[in-house]
Amino acid sequence: MEVQWVLVCHGMVTLTVVVSFLCGHSPIFKGTPIGWIHYFLTFGAWDYLLRFVEFVFGSKGTDAVLSVESFCCDRPNPFLQIIYLLILGSTYFITVKSSFAYIPGYYIGEVHKYMSFGAVVIGVLLFLLTSFCDPGIVNAKNVSQYVSAYPYDDIIYSEKECPTCKIPKPARSKHCSICNRCVARFDHHCAWMNNCIGEKNTKYFMAFLLWHFILCLYGAVAIGFILAGRVKELGIVHILTTYYGIENSFRSLAPRVLQWLVGTYNTQILLLVFLALVSLLLAGFFAYHLNLCLTNTTTNEKFKWREYISLQKKISEAKASAAALKAGMSNTDLERSSKSKWRGLWRRSEAKAEAIVAKRNMYDKGNFRNISEIVFPLSSRQAFQKPSHKSE
């Protein structure tokens, strides 16, 4: 029973931390434990650590910690790449050591020993492709190619020069402060890949997320079949009903069988819970980025559109305030009117924002064409087309 409660607590804590980290910034969690945990994980813990280091070691200790932070977060480094390989390798090793002895089993064949190894190898290959593939670096030689591939919309992108690279800044590009280079169709800098996600490697990044979701789900389901096979092979249901007099119904048997599994195969249960949680996390990331791909938007552009909509809202508020003052409303009446108005609009703001982006996003050309731009980048198509024009 002690092991069972440890596993339950482990699962609940892990789920709470994951939900808090990913969703705690949402306004609906403001002032709730989820919001507090999110603040602690993203800002509070680091702030308390710096205060503690300064109290114990003084300013030199703080400077040392900040220099480590700069190396890990502000410069390209393979730290998280190594962490990824360690997590993947150790998870596969523990799975082999704890579960492969029961393959083949009642519900799972021996082929899964080899399928699982092949799936892990494909995952590593996709990781290497995303990490070391050119994300679409913009330089003086190819800048004209990118400028012609991505027109300016004069809303969130306008014609200007990159102050660092001293070259024209193509629409949809961004200068990555970590890599110190301009990247075409910039989405974000991925620390796990130690690389930017841009025009040329978004397809590999999407394949990486999808494959690792399938890999974790496959692992969780396979372990589930192994455990179900052990219950069948050892006749646990027969033993419980015949020798312990437990009623032969799912409601009566399920808790006892689960208790037996947790006590006997706790490593496999931990692996199953871990893989299931990670698969849910990866499914969320993949769904988010798939939605971006289908609408031909990037993470960077999401923030840009949010800033643009926020600015337009402030301008509208200022105009409404000026008009109300002209009409002779007092400051108190104006404040009450503004509060009631924006309280009603708050619920519809997200839907309105999405509608504005959908209407004004000139890069959204329909799902099929948007996906084709991910698979076959525009700049690459133009590079192939130019020689044919010359030959004519």
How many separate domains does the chain show?
Answer: 3
Q: Is the pLDDT of residue 338 over 60?
A: no
Q: What average pLDDT score do residues 287-299 get?
A: 94
The residue among 335 and 223 whose pLDDT is bigger is 223
Asked if the peptide bond before residue 255 counts as cis, ω within 30 degrees of 0, the response is no
Could you tell me if residue 335 is inside a domain?
no
Q: Is residue 292 part of a domain?
A: yes
The predicted pLDDT at position 382 comes to: 66
Q: Are 63 and 102 contained in the same domain? A: no
What pLDDT was estimated at residue 383? 60
Which pLDDT value is given to residue 192? Answer: 92
| Runs of H (alpha helix) within the chain | 2-23, 33-39, 45-57, 59-73, 79-99, 111-132, 143-149, 202-233, 236-242, 250-264, 266-294, 299-326, 331-360, 367-375, 378-391
178 with 243, same domain: the answer is no
In the prediction, which pLDDT does 346 show?
43
**Do 225 and 104 belong to one domain?**
yes
- Both structure tokens of 198: 């841009």
**Residue 226 neighbours by CB under 8 Å, 6+ apart:** 99, 102, 103, 105, 107, 108, 268
pLDDT at 342: 46
Q: What pLDDT score was predicted for residue 8?
A: 66
Query: Can you name the residues that pair with 197 across neighbouring β-strands?
Result: 188
Question: Does a structural domain hold residue 318?
Answer: no
Report which of residues 46 and 8 the model is more confident about. Answer: 46
In a domain, 149, yes or no: yes
Q: Is 162 a catalytic residue?
A: no
208 plus 257 within the same structural domain? yes
Give the CA dihedral 225, 231, 232, 234, nearest 10 degrees.
140
Note whether 232 and 90 are same-domain residues.
yes
pLDDT value of residue 135: 96
pTM of the model: 0.83
Is the pLDDT at 189 greater than 90, yes or no?
yes
Determine the pLDDT at residue 331: 57
**Does residue 339 belong to any structural domain of this protein?**
no
Q: Does residue 244 sit in the same domain as residue 130? A: yes
Note the pLDDT of residue 392: 39
Neighbours of 33 (CB within 10 A): 11
Determine, yes or no, domain membership for 363.
no
In this prediction, residue 271 carries a pLDDT of 93
CA–CA dist 117, 327 (Å, integer): 74
Question: Mean of the per-residue pLDDT values for the chain?
Answer: 86
Q: Within a domain: residue 11? A: yes
Give yes or no for residue 210 having a pLDDT over 70: yes
Among the three residues 40, 58, 74, which one is the final residue of a domain in this structure? 74
* 275 and 177 both lie in a single domain: no
Average pLDDT on 249-273 reads: 89
Q: Which amino acid is at 268?
A: Q
Quote the pLDDT of residue 344. 47
Could you tell me if 174 and 26 lie in one domain? Answer: no
Do 118 and 259 fall into the same domain?
yes
Confidence check: pLDDT of 290 > 50: yes
Q: What confidence score (pLDDT) does residue 217 get?
A: 97
Shared-domain flag, residues 6 and 28: yes
The answer to the question of residue 337 being in a domain is no
Q: Are residues 86 and 158 in the same domain?
A: no
Structural domain including 172 reads 142-184
Which of 54, 74, 94 terminates a domain? The answer is 74
Distance CA 24, CA 33 (A): 9
pLDDT tens-place string over residues 119-154 = 999 999 999 999 999 999 999 999 999 999 999 999
Distance, in Å, from the CA atom of 341 to the CA atom of 348, rounded to the nearest integer, reads 12
Q: Tell me: do 61 and 83 sit in the same domain.
A: no
Q: What would the mean pLDDT of 60-86 be, rounded to a whole number?
A: 88
Active-site position among 72, 73, 190, 216:
190
Top-confidence residue, 15 or 51:
51
* pLDDT at 336 > cutoff 60: no
